[in-house]
Structure 1
Amino acid sequence: MLLAFAVVGGFAAAAPSAASAQGRSDIPESHPAWATPQAKVADAAPSAKLTFRVYLNLRDQAAAEAAARSVSEPGSPSYRKYLSAAQVRDKFAASDVTVGAVKTWLSGAGFAIGSVPSNRAYVEATGTADQVQQAFDIKLGKYAVKGQTLRAADKNLSVPAALAKDVLGVIGVDQATNLFKPNHTDGRDKPQDVPPGPGFRNAAPCSSYYGEKTDTTDPAYNGKQLPYAPCGYTPAQLRSAYGLDTAAKLGADGRGTTIAIIDAFASPTIYADASEYARRNDPAHPLKASQFSQKVFPVNPDLEGPDGCDAAGWYGEETLDVEAAHGLAPGADILYVGGSDCQDLSLDIALNWVVAGQKADIISNSYGDTGEDIPADEVKAFNQISLQAVLQGIGVYFSSGDNGDEVARLGTPSPDFSASAPWITAVGGTSLAVGKDGKRIFETGWETGKSTLTNGAYTPAFPGAYTSGSGGGTSRLFEQPFYQQGVVPDALSTQNQHGNKKGRVVPDISAVGDPNTGFLVGQTQTFPEGAHYDQYRIGGTSLASPVFAGVMAVADSLTHFHHGFINPVIYKVTSRTSAIADTQHVDGAVARVDYVNGVDASGGLVRSARLFDYPNLTIHTTAGYDNVTGLGTPNGLLFLFLV
């Protein structure tokens, strides 16, 4: 279904193109597997407008990968001797001649040429569906896939043979990346130009810290009276739990580091909400106007369907990401970059804009696909962007997903892309107990089992029904990268593989993600009485990624250098110390009360038990490296110094 990727300490080189008798060459695996004759529902309108990008190969892929490994691997003479964006462009990017040749071909085919980024990663073009069909020798149609109707070609795209060696892939001709979603657990569902999403509030009772209140009125669950779920941890509680308050006493609070957050669209109330949130919950650390900036790409006018890309859901994602990152690293600058839609045609533009312009030191991304069923063109283009980030010393963090092993949705275990890519750090989620003193009582893998209290009994009985949890597992796309060799157990790296092959295992490291031990967030929402600011508890690996990004920003300011791609050091060095806390299975659960209507008690209450570390998945929290939490979680000041 996808291009077979051979990864040697990095990512894949493309398979050779197949030349045709007409002097054309196929782009391997550029036809989505789901675009079958049986799934086709209509032809594409010939006059429909679409924008796409022709990605260009690096001049020396092998040398770029070797350099990326060299700057990120402890012990290398070039360790942390990063290249500038200009140096990467001059040494590895496609040449001006190559860019000119691609532009000449596209303009000759009738396309309007769009942007070419400063790193010459791609050439953007716009034209009609008919022009695309002629230029790439395909037929475009509409196909039913996963509840959506998406555009795709009927076969592999092809380009003139003279350009085949220069073209990495083409993104935007199909709509496969419409399947990308944010990884938080409380999505909002409205179109692109929308009011704030529907309101949600925590129901009482809930606890201000773990174990403050115990449910003594409901029946015991698995023989235990349960503590009530925290109402939502505050920034100070998480800073304390991860030891960042100690670093702050040494003057390290993230200052001198810029965290970029990439999502789709932009909440119109983001700065007001984040400022109010800090005022209410962390008044000693306001979000100053000088600390916050945005780069928002114009909304794509061609979004399909009345709900577009669930823009209001992305508003909630942005709010969580900004408030969590600022909460953990209150001295860091926050740069929000909003893509024009939920497709990687836009999210990759946003990511590339940050990397090509060296706009940030850390990038947090809280979105992903369901599994790894991603067009090879997208995988190759993404890996090329993330490779450049490594060369320049930019740390790129992706949430590992909120659907555990994905068996419930896919029928087979799989990690999620982009978290499974080899040149990024995949951040998994945990269930975190923070005590009255702000210290960590325990931290275990986040996989939730839910049992609802009905007529005096819990249904289903222990361990309940699986709802959500930290994504993880072994990639089918990527071989085991150099940094996981000798650390990740063979029992994990050989899953989903054939013969003696080993795969990339997700995640790499973890932070709090369980919404039942989650983060208090503040956002303008739409309530029955109108739209206004309010607060509620939220979680997901969408929380874990910006939390960990905040931890790394504090590490930057403590050690006075930017850490860049941390996977080699955390696997080869830090994991052999107590700087990473090993997460192990914990038998436990919390009692949770929810409003039926989401906002008040007028519609009644629902009472449930939420189990930690649900056991009936193919991924498990164990001693040592595991495929729920990776190496574990950052362990205070020692982690900040040793990472």
Structure 2
Amino acid sequence: MKRRTLAAATAALTTVAVVPAAAALASPSSASGKTALTSSAVTSAGGLNFGASAPASTSMTLGLQLPLRNQALADRLLAKGTVLTPAQYAAFFAPSKAQVSRVKAWAASQGMKVTQVSTSSGQIRVSAPVSRINRALGVSVRSATANGSRGLAAVGTPVVPSNLGLSGISGLNTVRKARVDNAKQAGSTRSTLKRSAPAGNVKRAANGSDGNKECANYWGDHLYPTVSRYGKESNYICGYFPQDLTQMYGVKAAQTKAPTIGVLLWGNDPNMLKITNEYMTAAGYPTLKDYTATVAAPDKDLPACDPYGVVSEQSIDVQSSHSISPNSPIRYYGAASCTDAALTSQLQLMVDQHKVSTISMSFGEAYDKGMSKADQAAWDRPLQQAALTGISTFGSSGDSGNNAYAAGNDLGGCNADKTVCKPDGKPHIGYPASSAYITAVGGTSIGLTKTGSVVAAAGWENLYFVQKDPAKAQYSLYTGFGTDGAGGGVSEVSKIPTWQKGVVTTSSTMRAVPDVAGLANPYTPFLIRQTDNTVDKNGKLVSTQVDYAAYGGTSLASPIVAAIVALAKAYNNVQVGNAAPKLYALRNSSAITDINGAGTMGVFAASSKPQYGGPNGGIVIGVDSKPQNLVTTKGWDNVTGVGEPNGMNFIKAFK
């Protein structure tokens, strides 16, 4: 494979001082031989509310972090797009084995159990009861709430022996929990794959209307109103099939390649391969031949992570990835829960095992502020390692627009007993999408015809209008559905990476999101086959069935783009880490489709309910209508980044 190899790194060494592995890299110490790890202190800046002391026997998982060496060199190599072997990465950046052994021995002496060691990232994972953590670190672990969830958080700054050389401890806040970024099309669940009947030879109105209220298999198959609000309008799409994604993104000529694709989530559907191949067989598409799941044992936080609902996300990730790259082996990694500690542990395992070309992460949080530096490093260390060793990582930008009123945004204050909190109404973006080491994926709305042509393309930022009379251009704004649209914004914790400077328009100092985009609007969705679990109000499983349903969300966009990049890397026989720098380099070329369709495209959904325009009308959804501050424009924008990959032009140019 072609690789920007050690030669590039060696050139960088002429101007960057290299710290040898044996060097001691302890934090500044006090006269007592103790070091206060201020980077690890949990604060209330992220809306965290502390409660009573946690039960002494409750277990927590922490990450003990040693400093990585030669960070200035790593930054230079990242900017150059250099890819190292895992061994070279360890030689340049990992702490010494002696340092790791010293930390492991200390942890054991404190009654902590070592559960995972990643020398390359300088992280030692340990588990221990609250009583031992309090004693070893000099903190007080308490119950806490934030971001719509409950957990534990430590009060006080952890203090450790200086001779350990630790730079941080992650995991002292278990309240932060990720949410999947998907959007199910209401009423789309069905038991069979059968599509609705096409319009046939029905005489159409001037705007293309055939008078049919049903969803459309393809763009323009059906359009009910005879007067349209938008120049490009169709009834909403029932759900694209696997082969439709191939047509939409024009990658068929590259599908002989078989790059290994990685997916990170939590939990697991043990029937994923079976139900996926039932779908592929019914759709007349190649079956998935090589699929494995590496799943961590569930931890105590999994019940708070919608364990029965998250399997739909697993279907989205696996089945969309396979649709784009049908010969690819897929490696699914399921974390123990949706906490930062569980997800970063499984991410680190993926990167250390180094079996995949790409990793898609279809989840995030409502905001990134309030993270400790150590918790941020728990994400950034494996993401940096992935980027410098040829693994491309992708993260969903979110499904609630700028997150000003998103679920989980509780930054607007709470009631007296802190049981009810409200959003702050301010823009935010969540992690890991806002990390500077990942490619953040925004969302689009795509109209594909049955002949395989894309005739409508715009961003995904929906506004809803009631149209009571389908023959009149009379529309009233409807706000009852809240905000749905691709996430976009400016990080509050990550500095702007070099490849964004002079390109993004929303900040000159901080990381802007997204970088690129893929299909995401739930009204131009992808059809999946899923294990559909029903739970009661207490989260107890009531019933299970396997069915089909239509989904959008940037959780669909992320695996689509990741699979396209995986194909491109394999097609060109190149090793690339973070895809973002190359995507920015390809902007304004034929390799990238600039999505610039604000105000041009809409879909119609008939309804019998009066509040939605019934019995004869319905809802018109303007798909790129700027409900907040997010809208597509020429060039980079805060909905679609630089745009979408453009078929084989992109595949051939990505090298």
TM-score past 0.5 threshold: yes
* Per-residue Cα deviation, 1:509-560 (whole angstroms, up to 9, x for no partner): 1111111101011112247996332211100000001111121122123222
- What amino acid sits opposite 1:311 in the alignment? P
- What amino acid sits opposite 1:624 in the alignment? G
Q: Does 1:402 align with 2:399?
A: yes
| Residue 518 of structure 1: aligned partner | 525
Task: Give, in whole Å, the separation in 2 of the partners of 1:371 and 1:606.
Answer: 38
| Residue 444 of structure 1: aligned partner | 458
Task: Give, in whole Å, the separation in 1 of the partners of 2:286 and 2:534.
Answer: 29
| Residue 578 of structure 1: aligned partner | 590
| Residue 193 of structure 1: aligned partner | none
| Residue 615 of structure 1: aligned partner | 626
The DSSP-based 3-state class of the residue aligned with 2:62 is strand
Pick aligned residue for 1:381 from 378, 381, 384: 378
Q: Which moved more, 1:469-478 or 1:220-229?
A: 220-229
Q: Is the 8 A contact 1:420 1:506 kept in 2?
A: yes
Distance 1:294 1:595, change over 3 A: farther
Q: Which moved more, 1:343-352 or 1:463-472?
A: 463-472
| Residue 195 of structure 1: aligned partner | none
- What amino acid sits opposite 1:235 in the alignment? P
Q: Which moved more, 1:55-64 or 1:96-105?
A: 55-64
Give the Å deviation of 1:59.
2.2
Distance 1:477 1:606, change over 3 A: farther
Distance 1:254 1:417, change over 3 A: farther
Task: Give, in whole Å, the separation in 2 of the partners of 1:447 and 1:478.
Answer: 25
Task: Give, in whole Å, the separation in 1 of the partners of 2:526 and 2:377.
Answer: 35
| Residue 175 of structure 2: aligned partner | 176
Q: Is the 8 A contact 2:595 2:634 kept in 1?
A: yes
Pick aligned residue for 2:313 from 313, 317, 333: 317
Q: What do you get for the CA RMSD once the two structures are aligned?
A: 3.1
Give the Å deviation of 1:565.
1.9
Give the Å deviation of 1:50.
2.2
Distance 1:148 1:424, change over 3 A: closer
| Residue 11 of structure 1: aligned partner | none
Q: Does 1:363 align with 2:370?
A: no
Task: Give, in whole Å, the separation in 2 of the partners of 1:223 and 1:561.
Answer: 43
Task: Give, in whole Å, the separation in 2 of the partners of 1:477 and 1:254.
Answer: 41
Task: Give, in whole Å, the separation in 2 of the partners of 1:16 and 1:120.
Answer: 16
Distance 1:461 1:187, change over 3 A: closer
List aligned pairs for 1:421-460, cutoff 5 A: 421-451=435-465
Give the Å deviation of 1:479.
2.2
- What amino acid sits opposite 1:537 in the alignment? A
Give the Å deviation of 1:396.
0.6
- What amino acid sits opposite 2:332 in the alignment? Y
Task: Give, in whole Å, the separation in 2 of the partners of 1:284 and 1:627.
Answer: 35
The DSSP-based 3-state class of the residue aligned with 2:484 is strand
Q: Is the 8 A contact 1:221 1:462 kept in 2?
A: no
Task: Give, in whole Å, the separation in 2 of the partners of 1:379 and 1:622.
Answer: 31
Give the Å deviation of 1:411.
1.9
Task: Give, in whole Å, the separation in 1 of the partners of 2:617 and 2:381.
Answer: 48
Aligned-pair identity in percent equals: 29
Pick aligned residue for 2:219 from 186, 189, 210: 210
Pick aligned residue for 1:632 from 614, 637, 643: 643
Task: Give, in whole Å, the separation in 2 of the partners of 1:605 and 1:35.
Answer: 50
Q: Is the 8 A contact 1:216 1:225 kept in 2?
A: no
| Residue 273 of structure 1: aligned partner | 275
Task: Give, in whole Å, the separation in 2 of the partners of 1:580 and 1:141.
Answer: 49
Pick aligned residue for 1:253 from 252, 255, 264: 255
- What amino acid sits opposite 1:437 in the alignment? T
Distance 1:588 1:292, change over 3 A: same
Distance 1:224 1:626, change over 3 A: closer
| Residue 486 of structure 2: aligned partner | 470
Q: Is the 8 A contact 1:67 1:391 kept in 2?
A: yes
The DSSP-based 3-state class of the residue aligned with 2:578 is coil
| Residue 368 of structure 2: aligned partner | 372
Q: Is the 8 A contact 2:608 2:618 kept in 1?
A: no
Distance 1:16 1:205, change over 3 A: farther
Q: Does 1:506 align with 2:513?
A: yes
Q: Is the 8 A contact 2:483 2:627 kept in 1?
A: no
| Equivalent residues, number | 578
Give the Å deviation of 1:120.
5.4
Task: Give, in whole Å, the separation in 2 of the partners of 1:606 and 1:168.
Answer: 62
| Residue 12 of structure 2: aligned partner | none
| Residue 417 of structure 1: aligned partner | 431
Task: Give, in whole Å, the separation in 2 of the partners of 1:361 and 1:99.
Answer: 28
Task: Give, in whole Å, the separation in 1 of the partners of 2:326 and 2:583.
Answer: 24
Q: Is the 8 A contact 1:56 1:121 kept in 2?
A: yes
Task: Give, in whole Å, the separation in 1 of the partners of 2:268 and 2:504.
Answer: 38
- What amino acid sits opposite 1:49 in the alignment? S
Distance 1:377 1:579, change over 3 A: same
Task: Give, in whole Å, the separation in 1 of the partners of 2:510 and 2:127.
Answer: 38
Distance 1:386 1:337, change over 3 A: same
| Residue 61 of structure 1: aligned partner | 71
* Per-residue Cα deviation, 1:8-39 (whole angstroms, up to 9, x for no partner): xxxxxxx9967556432222242333389993
Task: Give, in whole Å, the separation in 2 of the partners of 1:319 and 1:107.
Answer: 40
Distance 1:136 1:454, change over 3 A: farther
| Residue 238 of structure 1: aligned partner | 245
* Per-residue Cα deviation, 1:206-240 (whole angstroms, up to 9, x for no partner): 111011101138xx564889521111111211211
Give the Å deviation of 1:265.
0.7
Q: Is the 8 A contact 2:523 2:603 kept in 1?
A: yes
* Per-residue Cα deviation, 1:328-379 (whole angstroms, up to 9, x for no partner): 1111111001001111211111111111121101111111111212332121
Task: Give, in whole Å, the separation in 2 of the partners of 1:530 and 1:177.
Answer: 29
Q: Is the 8 A contact 2:529 2:546 kept in 1?
A: yes
Distance 1:299 1:401, change over 3 A: same
Q: Is the 8 A contact 1:510 1:632 kept in 2?
A: yes
Task: Give, in whole Å, the separation in 1 of the partners of 2:45 and 2:378.
Answer: 21
Task: Give, in whole Å, the separation in 2 of the partners of 1:55 and 1:225.
Answer: 53
Q: Is the 8 A contact 2:401 2:483 kept in 1?
A: no
| Residue 549 of structure 1: aligned partner | 562
Pick aligned residue for 2:496 from 461, 477, 480: 480
Task: Give, in whole Å, the separation in 1 of the partners of 2:608 and 2:162.
Answer: 62
Distance 1:37 1:389, change over 3 A: closer
Task: Give, in whole Å, the separation in 1 of the partners of 2:577 and 2:317.
Answer: 20
Q: Is the 8 A contact 1:613 1:621 kept in 2?
A: yes
Q: Does 1:39 align with 2:49?
A: yes
Residue ranges of structure 2 left out of the alignment (5+ in a row) = 1-24, 197-212, 407-423, 536-541, 610-614
| Residue 412 of structure 2: aligned partner | none
Task: Give, in whole Å, the separation in 2 of the partners of 1:227 and 1:16.
Answer: 62
Task: Give, in whole Å, the separation in 2 of the partners of 1:16 and 1:187.
Answer: 52
Q: Is the 8 A contact 1:169 1:381 kept in 2?
A: no
| Residue 207 of structure 2: aligned partner | none
Distance 1:345 1:85, change over 3 A: same
Give the Å deviation of 1:152.
0.7
Give the Å deviation of 1:453.
6.5
Distance 1:201 1:453, change over 3 A: farther
- What amino acid sits opposite 2:640 in the alignment? T
Distance 1:211 1:223, change over 3 A: closer
Task: Give, in whole Å, the separation in 2 of the partners of 1:62 and 1:446.
Answer: 38
| Residue 4 of structure 1: aligned partner | none
Q: Is the 8 A contact 1:17 1:28 kept in 2?
A: no
What is the TM-score with the length of structure 2 in the denominator? 0.82
List aligned pairs for 1:179-194, cutoff 5 A: 180-186=178-184
| Residue 166 of structure 2: aligned partner | 167
Task: Give, in whole Å, the separation in 1 of the partners of 2:559 and 2:281.
Answer: 20
Give the Å deviation of 1:284.
3.8
